[in-house]
Structures are given as C-alpha cells and as structure tokens.
Amino acid sequence: MSSSTSDTRALASSPDSAARAEAERHLVRYAGHADFVGEIITRAAGSFLYTRDGRKILDFTSGQMSAILGHSHPEIVETVRRQIGELDHLYSGMLSPPVIDLAAGLAATLPAPLEKALLLTTGAEANEAAIRMAKLVTGGHEIVSFARSWHGMTQAAAGATYSAGRRGYGPAAPGNFALPVPHAYRPDITTATGELDWRRQLDLGFDLIDAQSTGSLAACLIEPILSSGGIIEPPLGYLTALRDKCRERDMLLIVDEAQTGLCRTGSWYAFEGEGIVPDILVLSKTLGAGLPLAAVLTSAEIEQRAHDRGFLFFTTHVADPLVAAVGNTVLEVLRRDGLDARAAHLGAILREGLEDLGQRHAVVGDIRGRGLLAGLELVLDRKTKQGSDELGALVTRRCLELGLHMNIVQLPGMGGVFRIAPPLTATEDELALGLSILDTAIGDAVASLGVRIGS
C-alpha cells in the first residue's frame, strides 16, 4: 500500500473526517482547482501550526505570507486584547489615536515625500484605492502591470493581475496592459551570450503599450519582487529605468509591497535597493502580521491633488482603530528587534541551505529571492529547464506529510517554484528543520516519480 493511500484512509477515519464532510458540504472552494489542506488546524504559535489530532507543522509561508512576527506573537496578542476592550471600530469619518500614530509611524520609515497614509484592510482593496487615486490625479485610466502579476481579485486589482484568474469572468476593465517580466532564469529577449536583455525587453514592452494606448496612461503597478509570479526579482537598474518610462509618459509608479514590505527582504522596503521612491506605495499582509490591515502611502502633493478632485474611497473599515493598534505594535517590534538585519542574516542562512540542496538534487533548477522571501524552482532537466507540475505536487504533498507547509507556484512556461517565506522571528534551528524536511521530500518525490532527471 502506498503512503498516500494509507494517509487517505487514516484521514477518513480521523477526528477530522466529520469536519471535512461539513466543509465539503458548506464551504465555497475559492482557490481555483486546489483543494483545502486535508487537516484541520486548531492552534498556531511562533513558526508552527498544530492540527486537531496533535500534529505539529512548520509554517514556511507565514500563513498567507503575512505573519512576519510568527503566529500568536505575545505583543500582538496583548495589543488585540487591550485595544478591543477600549476602542475597536468607529464611523469611518472619525479619527483615533492608533490611526494617527500609525500614519505617522509609517511615514517615519519611508523616504520623502511619502508621508500621507490611507489605512484599509486587504492588499486588493489598497490596490483599488491606489489605482483609483492615480486615475483621478492623472486624468488617465490605463494601467500597466507585469504579465505574471498578482494584485488582488477585486475589479481594478484583478484587471492588473495576470498570473491567474482572468478566464471565465467576462471582459476586464478596459485599458489594462501587460508588461513582459524580466526573468533572468527564463529570458525571452537575450543578448548575444544568451542572457536577459532587459533594457531591450523594457523598450519593446513600452513600444507595444504605446501602440495600444489611447493616450490615457495613468499608472504602472508593479511588485518589486513578483511573488505569485514565481519569486522573480528584476535586475538591478530595471526599476529605475521603469520609473523613467513612467515619467516620460506622465504616469504614476505604484509599488505593491504586500509581501516584500516591512523588513522581509532584509531592508524595510524592497524598492530601497534601487534608490527610487514610488509615487504611491501599497502595503498589506506584513503590516497586520496576519490581521487584515493595509495602507496606501503617497506624497502630500498627490494627496492634495486627489482631494481637490474629490477623491472618494469610503469603506466600512477604513481607519479602524483595532487593526491600526496592531500595526503600531508591528512597527515597534520590527524597529526594536532589528528585524530587517535579522531577515538579512537568516536569509543568507536559508540561501546557503537551498544552494546545498541544489548541489545534491538535480531537480533544483534555480534559487532566487532576497532575505526571507526565497524561491526554489524545480525542473526535470537543468539544460532544457523543463518543468513538471507532478514533481512540484509530489514534493509539496510529501513536505506536508513530514511536517512542513510549503507553497508552490505553477504557471505555464515555468517549473514549480516554491515560495519560501518563514516568519522573521524564525530560529536558525527552525530553518535547518525546514531545509532537512525539504531535502527528504525532494528525494522521496524524485524516487516515486521514477523518471530520469537531467543534470
């Protein structure tokens, strides 16, 4: 009997089986063709999840790439307990000390002129607000984003999302254009030596955008490191050149740092590596450390222009004091504990461990990322870079069986790419444990696949 068959039978007779039956009966499945994870999670603490039947699972995704301080961080728990007993929710036009403090606190972490904050709930909502602001301020309506982008599932955010979810829902909002992704491992436009020619690629991309534009370009919305697109970091110099393209066309540059912001990459913000400052910055995920909190940050000039034109983004939970208090605690812990430097240190350890796996497993095609946002791409052949959805699924499943939760991106034209994003509070021993489990899982998956792997 195979291990997967025995696991399936064990699950059917476990205490989770009734809960699973209720879930299948009553829950809408929202992750495309993916199913819910088979076990019921009842508790989480630090870097670990705990199932109803007592299994301990190391979380290498920080929940949904959000719990940068780990699960149930004691200071976050205390902040929620205190704040919910004092002031949880207000009429959206009212102000509270946590909201004012968080706006000022975020501005203090950012370069000028980013000093104005709009506090919202999710990344999609924040991207909606940023796009809406850009359209109002510029008078344009056309939005450019990467061809493997993920910015959310609401209307304007979904229109700027190309990695998934575009088919079957009718036409997207008009005026959305895709920009080729500068992917060094899988280059499309190359130099004479076969390396990515990103400058020529960028020029061609904007030539095509200019040809399609009606003269109403409003903004370019990008992730500084594409996450759902497969942990793709643009080459040094790319973001500066992209900003210049925007300036030439009177477009705003919106940088979506949902997953990269607030120390994860080893610096407070991923855009800092280029020395540029976006016109609008979007934060979410990491800002709430697992709670629903997002922010749109911009300059006083852009905010004034938007206000003069009647900018409207009035939501039920805009400027809620409860989650704003959590955001203040997140900033305090990040700053006090030097978690930017810690993420850089742990990221170097993680990178070394992944490179060691690459030395011992021929299916490891590429390792990329920055800090504690790492990508590991699996291939069947390193020369041809042939991917395999089956291999990625096998490794993912085997990791979970061995006590490690991993997330894999599988998009057309690339192999399976693991998105590895442990909490910034993870220990070196926890990283070593995760790498050890991944090592075993890759070996087991390759053996079970039963095909010759190219080197």
| Residues that are catalytic | 150, 223, 256, 259, 285, 419
Single-letter amino acid code for the residue at 150: W
**Residue length, the chain?**
455
Cα separation of 5 and 246, whole Å? 54
CA 110/CA 123 separation, integer angstroms: 19
Residue 207 structure tokens: 């030539």
Q: Considering Cα of 376, then 377, then 378, then 381, what sign does the dihedral take? A: negative
Tokens of 102: 């968080």
d(CA 388, CA 278): 37
* Paired tokens of 25: 């009966």
Q: Cα(5)–Cα(75) distance, rounded to whole angstroms?
A: 42
In whole angstroms, give the CA distance from residue 450 to residue 455. Answer: 16
114, two tokens: 């980013």
**Prior bond to 171 cis, omega within 30?**
no
Say if residues 194 and 163 touch (Cβ distance below 8 Å).
no
Helix (H) or strand (E) holding 220: strand 217-222
The phi, psi pair for 20, rounded to 5°, reads: -65, -40
SS3 content of the chain, % helix, strand, coil (to 5): 40, 20, 40
CA distances from 285 to 80, 118, 395, 400 (A): 17, 15, 26, 23
Peptide bond into 113 cis (omega under 30): yes
Q: For the chain, report the end-to-end CA distance as a whole number of angstroms.
A: 32
Do residues 246 and 216 lie in contact, with contact meaning Cβ atoms separated by under 8 Å? no
* Half-sphere exposure in the Cβ direction for 411 (13 Å, CA): 21
**Residue type present at position 66:** S
Which residue matches tokens 């920080």? 62
Question: What b/e sequence results for 380-418 when a residue is b if at least 16 CB atoms lie within 10 Å of its CB, and e otherwise?
Answer: bbbeebebbeebbebbbbbbbbeebbbbbbbbeebbbbb
At 105, give phi and psi (nearest 5°). -65, -40
